[in-house]
Amino acid sequence: MKVLFVCLGNICRSPTAHGVFAAQVARAGLGARLAVDSAGTAAWHTGKAPDPRTIAAAQQRGIDLSALRARPVSAADFAVFDVILAMDSDNLAILQTLRPAEYRGHLGLLLDFAPQTGLRDVPDPYHGGADGFEQVLDLVETACTGLLEHLQVVLRRDGESGRTL
């Protein structure tokens, strides 16, 4: 099963989700069954590493994001990824315009896997202070835990396919 996280720039929120979820997947011993990637709806930062503030905040929690590089999302991603999760409603709306009619995977919001947070959007930390990056990590860790629990059930039920998510 393949999971794609999408934000605006692919240098703050979605690389955080990419690194956090990949670490959780590895810890669960599911690295061979769950692939993880991230992308942005804007191409401004293509080829760049995550924002230094994002890298520093994740490093403090033992997650190394420094090897990640930003890329834009495209309609072709719908042929590859079983699960596509936007970090906020604006980016979900853009993804809905790219979604091919025949897509049978799951397109939704990451925070729908963390209903206990009471939020649907991961706030964009780019123009704010260090607190924003901590909040991104808190929300992403909680939601990725919920996502992994959900996908473990799906994997057990359906083997390799996530098509019935």
Task: Give the residues lining the site for ligand 4NP (CB under 6 A).
Answer: 7-13, 44, 124, 126
Beta strand residue intervals within 29-134, DSSP E: 35-40, 83-86, 106-109
Whichever of 37 and 154 has its CB closer to ligand 4NP, that residue is 37
Asked if 140 and 82 touch (Cβ cutoff 8 Å), the reply is: no
∠ CA(15), CA(12), CA(113), 5° rounding?
65
> Is 120 annotated in the active site?
no
Which of 7, 37, 51, 77 is the catalytic position?
A: 7
Q: Cβ 83 to ligand 4NP, closest distance in Å?
A: 19
Min dist CB 156 to ligand 4NP, Å, is 32
Per the listing, tokens 């520093």 go with 56
- Closer Cβ to ligand 4NP, 44 or 130, answer by number: 44
Structure tokens at 116: 């206990």
Report CA dihedral (152, 157, 160, 162) to the nearest 10 degrees. -70
Establish whether 82 is a catalytic residue.
no
Residue nearest to ligand 4NP (CB): 9
Q: Considering 12, 13, 53, 144, which one is annotated as catalytic? A: 13
What lies within 8 Å, CB to CB, of 154 at 6+ separation is 1, 162, 164, 165
Based on the residue annotation, tell me whether 124 is a catalytic residue of this protein: yes
- Specify the residue, 44 or 149, whose C-beta has the smaller distance to ligand 4NP: 44
Catalytic residues, which ones? 7, 13, 124
